[in-house]
Amino acid sequence: MPEVHFGHRFGDVLVTVLDVDGQPLSDREVSVEQCAHAFSFGNIGFELISLASEETDAPRSALADLWFDVFNTATLPFYWGLFEPQRGRPDTARLHRAAKWFVDHGCRVKGHPLVWHTLTADWLREASTDEVEAAVRARIRRDVADFADVVQAWDAINEAVIMPVFRNERHRNAITRLAWDRGRIATVRLAFEEARATDPAATLVLNDFDMSTAYECLIEGVLDAGVQVDAIGLQSHMHQGYWGEEKTLAILERFSRYGLPIHLTETTLVSGQLMPPEIVDLNDYQIPSWPSTPAGEQRQADEIVRHYRTLLAHPSVQAITYWGLSDDGAWLGAPAGLVRADGTPKPAYDALRTLVKEEWWLAPTKLRTDEAGRVQVRGFLGDYRLRHAGRTASFAIAGPESAVTLRPEQ
Amino acid sequence: MPEVHFGHRFGDVLVTVLDVDGQPLSDREVSVEQCAHAFSFGNIGFELISLASEETDAPRSALADLWFDVFNTATLPFYWGLFEPQRGRPDTARLHRAAKWFVDHGCRVKGHPLVWHTLTADWLREASTDEVEAAVRARIRRDVADFADVVQAWDAINEAVIMPVFRNERHRNAITRLAWDRGRIATVRLAFEEARATDPAATLVLNDFDMSTAYECLIEGVLDAGVQVDAIGLQSHMHQGYWGEEKTLAILERFSRYGLPIHLTETTLVSGQLMPPEIVDLNDYQIPSWPSTPAGEQRQADEIVRHYRTLLAHPSVQAITYWGLSDDGAWLGAPAGLVRADGTPKPAYDALRTLVKEEWWLAPTKLRTDEAGRVQVRGFLGDYRLRHAGRTASFAIAGPESAVTLRPEQ
């Protein structure tokens, strides 16, 4: 468990173990193992929704097993135009079942996104800007309330930098018009204030693909305006090639200076040819076939390790969401999955699993208590289980140093 | 005087002319002529400073004559590192004489810039950020006060978008560090609040070369933060080629939506080869010789007319500053001047003069008063003179419609 550069991810806890009578369990062997990461290793859960939303308690698929073996946070789709294609008929019940399924499997759930110009409700196109604003506010209140029991975090607004000047469509959508008429900050404020008022406990993310100074300027304006942003989201789709450590660190340096947690919200690395660098809107790149190749898979495996290491080494990063598990149905048809279309894991899957469940993970470990019944446990921040003589107790490592007294139970 | 698209530049004034006894001057011929433009047709005055700052009242050079025949607003250099190379020894006296010389010749004067990371005071490099802030504030107060009688407008801050992340230098300058530590909005606010407090009547410009969404985001943040910006400055150096009408209009559409006047602050069109498009920081392009060519001069003349027409046709544009009159000593050695290094005017000079002093200008025109002594005058917004029988009176056309009574005097 090498810790160079990752010290801030670890904590030490002094565990005092009591026996069934409440006396210190001196000089005995106990077993300690990690159960969960505090860090959000996320992925989209789109591919599992049909399974997850079934009325009956369906058995987990092989793909689901692969998903849960690495990831602990599921991003679910709330694209307005798909979620509520007909006004007043939102897809709430099905998506709520899916979200609950993930929660029941020990996952956190994030909703993506509450406000975005792409895939927004087409039935708003002709409405007045005042009506659009009212509808957006109502939509946020409704959905955040409906999912408050299962969704812990939201992309409150997506791509606000380009939002008012977005042109890559035949007819201007209502959200772009709203952002043009009201301004970016007012639109961001609207999203955050409605979501915050509805679920004060939710983590609200400002999310963008724009890594330029434009996003810095937006963030500074939003923060100066007093909007309470819980995390800065950086999309980091890398269809055009891995950023590399230098660029990644430069981006982290620039966006961490606001003192807010950073979420890498949409991470992709392809295991095939790279998208040409001249493409500006990734959606414009459409090719009939984009295969995963052996050489591409090795590159992807190498890059995903380098990227996750770089990100985890930076104290501001609190979440990474990979964008898709399988190549089957992947965004843009790109081989950006960690699992091939035939369901077999790529090297990148194994490499990431090794990081998340081996290098940064405390496997069951035998320790011996001292005379006062104490063992010192050092591990990656997260949830842990201690076992002794068939009895177990749970504890967490939540910070650099702590102490806890446990009385394992049947 | 074609007015298509330029109606907002014109005004009608009903002039009632009185004779020496104060009676309406019925049915007489009077002459009306324009004396000055309300619109700021600006240029930098850098090339004339050595002449303008002489202690004695030197005669105007041929270059100065060319300057005054087209331009009415001079931008003068306040680059901190050049203006005050040694702390406490600013170049105030010389530059004030130069500014006053322009004012005495009927010009407005603009100072450029109060805060900028490039060419800033090197003696601040090692100072603490608090000291830097205090020094910047003191510098603004001192210079705005010292020049309040002659300088009407200031670029309060230049290139704030890139300011905190500017890297194209060996050692980080103090202004970049200030903007990094305090944020862009705080740095912009500082510049505007000090200048405003010192000279409430000055026109304070937020100026940038960045025409991307980043500048929009900065503007929105600054305005939302309550900073009172008098004009949005767009640099518009076109060493890499004329923008063309479509791009120019798209930029004007985006930056006019804040309801603020737009100043095109640094306009250049070269009359030689174009700088390659891959150059990001124009300063990085250094070639031994960059000649003006006959074909380049024809292109420049065509483009300057198209550009000024496009800009004047947009109601938000209130000023255009061309960046340099002569190729001799032009920025980057580029043939961006309107006059060749040998002092002869290029076609672009003549073309611009034709616009400013002929097409958009009311030459001496004879009109006949009606029975009530009235003549209707329509002209480009600006200052006018009426003559009758060797007597003159001045008036202005300041808006769409007005009326004025004049009593011409000796």
List residues bridging with A383 in a β-sheet. A36, A396
What pLDDT is attached to residue B58? 63
The share of chain B scoring above pLDDT 70, in percent, equals 98
Residue of chain B with shortest Cα separation from A216 = B214
Query: CB under 8 Å to B308, separation ≥6 — which residues?
Result: B320, B352, B355
Per-residue pLDDT for B309 more than 50? yes
CB contact under 8 A, A218 and B222: no
| Residue of B217, B222, B247 to mutate when probing chain A, most A C-beta within 10 A | B217
Q: What is the DSSP string of B23-59?
A: -B-TT-EEEEEEEEESSEEEEE-GGGHHHHT-SS-PP
Q: Measured between CB atoms, which of B162, B220, B254 is closest to A221? A: B220
Burial of residue A346, with CB atoms counted within 10 A of its CB: 0-12 exposed, 13-18 middle, 19 or more buried = buried
CB contact under 8 A, B221 and A216: no
| Residue of B213, B223, B247 to mutate when probing chain A, most A C-beta within 10 A | B213
CATH level 3 topology of B7-35+362-406: Immunoglobulin-like (2.60.40)
Per-residue pLDDT for B2 more than 70? no
Query: CB under 8 Å to A145, separation ≥6 — which residues?
Result: A198, A199
What pLDDT is attached to residue B54? 80
Contacts of B161 in chain A (CB under 8 A): 213, 217
Q: What is the CATH number of domain A39-280+287-359?
A: 3.20.20.80
Contacts of A165 in chain B (CB under 8 A): 213, 216, 254
Q: What is the DSSP letter of A114?
A: S
Q: In this complex, is the C-beta atom of B119 within 8 Å of any C-beta atom belonging to chain A? A: no
Q: In this complex, is the C-beta atom of B177 within 8 Å of any C-beta atom belonging to chain A? A: no
Burial of residue A137, with CB atoms counted within 10 A of its CB: 0-12 exposed, 13-18 middle, 19 or more buried = middle
CB contact under 8 A, A183 and B220: yes
Token pair for B206 = 């937020």
A58-114 confidence digits (pLDDT tens)? 677 899 999 999 999 999 999 999 999 999 999 999 999 999 999 999 999 999 999
Q: In this complex, is the C-beta atom of B214 within 8 Å of any C-beta atom belonging to chain A? A: yes
What pLDDT is attached to residue A2? 47
CB contact under 8 A, B220 and A161: no
Q: In this complex, is the C-beta atom of A246 within 8 Å of any C-beta atom belonging to chain B? A: no
Q: In this complex, is the C-beta atom of B218 within 8 Å of any C-beta atom belonging to chain A? A: yes
Rounded to two decimals, the pTM is 0.92
Q: Which helix (H) or strand (E) holds B386?
A: strand B382-388
Q: Give per-10-residue mean pLDDT for chain A (410 aa).
A: 76 96 95 98 95 74 95 98 97 96 96 97 97 98 98 98 94 96 98 98 98 97 97 96 97 97 98 94 91 97 98 98 94 95 97 97 97 97 96 96 93
CA angle, residues B213, B219, B222, in degrees to nearest 5? 140
**How far from B221 is each of B184, B195, B258, CA to CA, in Å?**
9, 19, 12
Q: What is the DSSP letter of B60?
A: P
Per-residue pLDDT for B29 more than 60? yes
Q: Measured between CB atoms, which of A221, A225, A254 is closest to B165? A: A254
Q: Mean pLDDT lowest for which of B50-54, B55-59, B98-102?
A: B55-59
Q: Over the Cα atoms of chain A, what is R_g?
A: 23
- B4: confidence class by pLDDT, cuts 50, 70, 90: low
| Residue of A213, A216, A247 to mutate when probing chain B, most B C-beta within 10 A | A213
Q: In this complex, is the C-beta atom of A254 within 8 Å of any C-beta atom belonging to chain B? A: yes
User: Under a CB-based contact definition with an 8 Å cutoff, are residues A156 and A204 in contact?
Assistant: yes
Instruction: Write down the domain spans for chain B.
Output: 7-35+362-406, 39-280+287-359
Per-residue pLDDT for B331 more than 70? yes
CB contact under 8 A, A213 and B257: no
Amino acid at A360: W
Long-range (24+ apart) CB contacts under 8 A made by B197-202 are B197/B141, B198/B140, B198/B141, B198/B144, B198/B145, B198/B148, B199/B144, B199/B145, B199/B148, B201/B148, B201/B152, B202/B144, B202/B148, B202/B151, B202/B152, B202/B153, B202/B154
Q: What is the DSSP letter of B388?
A: E
Token pair for A60 = 């987990």
Burial of residue B283, with CB atoms counted within 10 A of its CB: 0-12 exposed, 13-18 middle, 19 or more buried = exposed
Q: In this complex, is the C-beta atom of A224 within 8 Å of any C-beta atom belonging to chain B? A: yes
User: CA A27, CA A373: separation in Å to the nearest integer?
Assistant: 7
Angle between helices B184-198 and A213-224 (to 10 degrees): 70
| Alpha helices, H only, B105-163 | 129-146
Q: In this complex, is the C-beta atom of A184 within 8 Å of any C-beta atom belonging to chain B? A: yes
| Alpha helices, H only, A72-124 | 80-83, 92-104
Q: Which of B144, B62, B11, B70 is nearest to B320 (CA)?
A: B70
Token pair for B157 = 């801050």
Contacts of A185 in chain B (CB under 8 A): 220-221, 224
Looking at CA atoms only, how far is residue A218 from chain B in angstroms?
Answer: 5
What pLDDT is attached to residue A55? 65
Long-range (24+ apart) CB contacts under 8 A made by B144-148 are B144/B114, B144/B194, B144/B195, B144/B198, B144/B199, B144/B202, B145/B198, B145/B199, B146/B92, B146/B96, B147/B95, B147/B96, B147/B99, B147/B109, B147/B111, B148/B198, B148/B199, B148/B201, B148/B202
Per-residue pLDDT for B1 more than 80? no
Query: CB under 8 Å to A343, separation ≥6 — which residues?
Result: A62, A63, A326
Contacts of A215 in chain B (CB under 8 A): 217
Per-residue pLDDT for B61 more than 60? yes
CB contact under 8 A, B212 and A210: no
* Residue B53, phi then psi, degrees to nearest 5: -95, 5
What totals of helices (H) and strands (E) does chain B contain, helices first?
A: 11, 16
Contacts of B220 in chain A (CB under 8 A): 183-185, 218, 221
| Alpha helices, H only, B149-281 | 174-182, 184-198, 213-224, 244-256
Mean confidence (pLDDT) of chain B: 95
Token pair for B281 = 């920081």
Q: In this complex, is the C-beta atom of A10 within 8 Å of any C-beta atom belonging to chain B? A: no
CB contact under 8 A, A184 and B217: yes
Q: Looking at chain A, how many residues does it have?
A: 410
ipTM over 0.90: no
CB contact under 8 A, B212 and A214: yes
